Amino acid sequence: MNPSPLVDAIVRQTVILIATLATGAGQRPSLSHLADQVFSELARELKQQGLSTKVVADMFGMALRTYQTRVAQLSVSRSDASRSLWEAVYAHIQTRSPLLRADLHSRFAAEDAAMLRGVIRDLVESGLVEQSGRADATRYTAVAADALLGGQQPAAFERMLLVAAHRHGPATVEELAAQTGASDRARVAAALESLVEQALVNLEPHSEPERYSCERCVIPFGDEQGWEAAVFDHYQAMVAALVTKLRGGNRRADLKDHIGGSTFVFDLHESHPMAGEALGFLEETRARGHELRERIESFDASNPAPSDARPLRVIAYVGQTVAELDPEDDDA
């Protein structure tokens, strides 16, 4: 088996997802740290898989000394807190608006003028900044002065931690920060303290260092603040299923599998008698999962698990998309 084409294809799909997430909310977060983050985390994961440092360096196409130097540099400092020019300009307008164009250009005089104009134009066209006046009297005003940059809103970030604590707990602050990609330990600790106060996360008794867990994590349908956590949860569940199956040495699927996934493609037309059934596949599967979870919780409420029973967590995921094909595509 040659995994290289599969790795390349998965990287490509992950890049598409990252690009969509980075632009979907109308903001332009900095991505300058991604290369370092991917290198650092991939190197660490390969080491955890049991590979020697020399082999890992060779996989990256580096001499051993070059690889060790690179790892050392990244372990000292990571640029997770860096801002893009887009973020910096937006933050400055938020704190100083209304702001004259001359003052804005003076503040960012060291930047490339064409790039700065492009960022300002993008902020105005995206509706985050209002432009008024003309020439030297042009003013910029932030439309959403309370919007946060460089991270999720507090409620959304707490939901991300909920998912991580549920999937990986009991876990330390550092472990949960790594799972959510948060670089600010104090922010993670404060969010966890809030979740503990809300009785959504448990602080494990007598744990040193302190560890947190979450027994139940449900993101309700229609919850607008929980979409980041829902995406994180779904993607993590999919990756966990694939990794667990691959680590078990299983390279084939069976109808009786308890670990794995399946993709079904239904080719039909909008007036097809079974179009509604195909379109409702996700809705029906969600309803079945919701009903099953309620029955399990109802049973557990009056039937405590035996003391010698081995805990079991079944994580199921389902996704669906609909694509309208052009007639030419059908003939391809």
pLDDT value for 146:
40
The answer as to whether 13 is a domain residue is: yes
State both tokens at 215.
């027994």
| Of the residues 34, 52, 76, the one at which a domain ends | 76
Q: What is the residue range of 50's domain?
A: 4-76
pLDDT recorded at residue 222: 58
pLDDT reported for residue 140: 93
Residues 99 and 66 in one domain: no
The predicted structure's pLDDT at residue 283: 92
- The predicted pLDDT at position 151 comes to 46
Residues 90, 134: one domain?
A: yes
Kindly give, in sequence order, each residue whose CB lies less than 8 Å from that of residue 42, ignoring residues fewer than 6 positions away: none
How big is the CA angle at 16 (ends 10 and 17), to the nearest 5 degrees? 90
Residues 200 and 226 in one domain: yes
Q: Is residue 168 within 8 Å of residue 161, measured between CB atoms?
A: no
Looking at the fold, whether 223 and 284 belong to one and the same domain comes out as no
| In-domain check, residue 252 | no
Same domain, 17 and 64: yes
Pair (119, 187) in one structural domain: no
Considering the domain architecture, whether residues 242 and 177 belong to the same structural domain is answered as yes
Asked whether residue 307 is assigned to any structural domain, the reply reads no
* 49 within a domain of the structure (yes/no): yes
Given 41, 76, 111, the domain boundary residue is 76
Q: What is the pLDDT of residue 279?
A: 93
Q: What is the mean pLDDT of each successive set of 10 residues along the chain, which is 332 residues long?
A: 69 76 68 79 88 90 83 52 68 85 88 81 80 89 54 63 82 85 79 87 87 76 60 77 75 78 88 94 91 92 90 86 68 45
The per-residue DSSP string of 64-127 comes to: HHHHHHHHHHHHH---TT---HHHHHHHHHHHH-SEEHHHHHHHTTTS-HHHHHHHHHHHHHTT
CA pair distance 43, 37, nearest whole angstrom: 10
Whether residues 158 and 226 fall in one domain: yes
Are 67 and 128 found together in one domain? no
* In a shared domain, residues 169 and 209: yes
Domain CATH code at residue 106: 1.10.10.10
Q: Based on the domain organization, do 159 and 240 belong to the same domain?
A: yes
Distance CA 267, CA 275 (A): 9
Give domain status of residue 253, yes or no: no
Number of domains observed in the structure of the chain: 4
Q: CA Rg, the chain, in Å?
A: 24
DSSP state for residue 171 in the 8-state scheme: B
**Beta strands, E only, the chain:** 99-100, 129-132, 139-142, 202-203, 212-213
CA torsion, ordered 62, 66, 67, 68, to nearest 10 deg: 160
Statement to judge: residues 213 and 237 lie in one domain: yes
Flag whether 106 is in a domain: yes
257 in a structural domain: no
CB 101 within 8 A of CB 134: no
Residue 70 belongs to a domain? yes
Q: Which long-range contacts (C-beta less than 8 Å, at least 24 apart) are formed by 171-178?
A: 171/211, 171/212, 171/213, 172/209, 172/210, 172/211, 172/212, 173/209, 173/210, 173/212, 176/212
